[in-house]
Amino acid sequence: MRSISKPGRKHSVKILASAGLVIAAAGVAGLGTYGSFTSTTSASTNVGTGTVKLDLANQATRGLDIAVTSMVPADYAQRAVQLTRSATSESFGSVTLKTSLTTDNLLKTGSDGLKLQIDACSAPWVKAAGSNDLTCSGTTTVVLASGAATQTDVALPKALADLDSATRVANLRIQLSLPQTANNDYQGLSNAVNVDFTATQRAGQAQ
């Protein structure tokens, strides 16, 4: 009988010990939920966005609002515009040009069709006395060499530099010409030249 009773006592002790450990662990966890230090502070800052604004004005009484008429081969027409970066605008990252002709005739598609050239002046362009030529009293710089009248997203680094300078102004002379080699096929034609200047924002920077 002794050999039967001893193993039974050992087994019951082990069960009680296990139950006691579980209760003790739960008690420690419960105590931990009451001990914590906290501190909260807050602040705010205002955030505003900038603007990118490019303006165009006709110049020298010979702006793009003046139609070109009665051109013959070797004629050219000069028109002056002034681009301005608004005083409230951020500086620009690029300035590009896009031109288009609205009618599909030889003035647009012909090898002797209209040619376009753009020059910049360090001062506003002035109409010459007794002539439709536009003259520069300062320094003249080629912005776009003579080429096709249709241009797509052409970068204008000179205009960009002028617009991002302290003056915020680019004085441009747009010249349209009909080549000397244009023949009788070009007689009596008309078209409309659309000119778009696009300014994009500067690169991102820390504020």
d(CA 71, CA 189): 10
Residue 33: pLDDT band (50, 70, 90) is low
What CATH number should be reported for the domain holding residue 154?
A: 2.60.120
161 belongs to a structural domain: yes
14 belongs to a structural domain: no
Residue 24: pLDDT band (50, 70, 90) is very low
12 belongs to a structural domain: no
Listed ranges 12-16, 37-41, 49-53, 94-98; the one with the highest mean pLDDT: 94-98
If you search the block for the tokens 């008309």, which residue do you land on?
Answer: 190
Residue 175's DSSP bridge partners are: 78, 117
pTM above 0.85, yes or no: no
If you search the block for the tokens 């001990």, which residue do you land on?
Answer: 35
- Show the CA angle centred on residue 161, arms to residues 159 and 165, nearest 5°: 115
7 belongs to a structural domain: no
69 belongs to a structural domain: yes
Residue 9: pLDDT band (50, 70, 90) is very low
Domains in the chain: how many in total? 1
If you search the block for the tokens 């362009």, which residue do you land on?
Answer: 125
Q: Which domain holds residue 64?
A: 54-201
Q: Mean pLDDT over residues 175-198, rounded?
A: 96
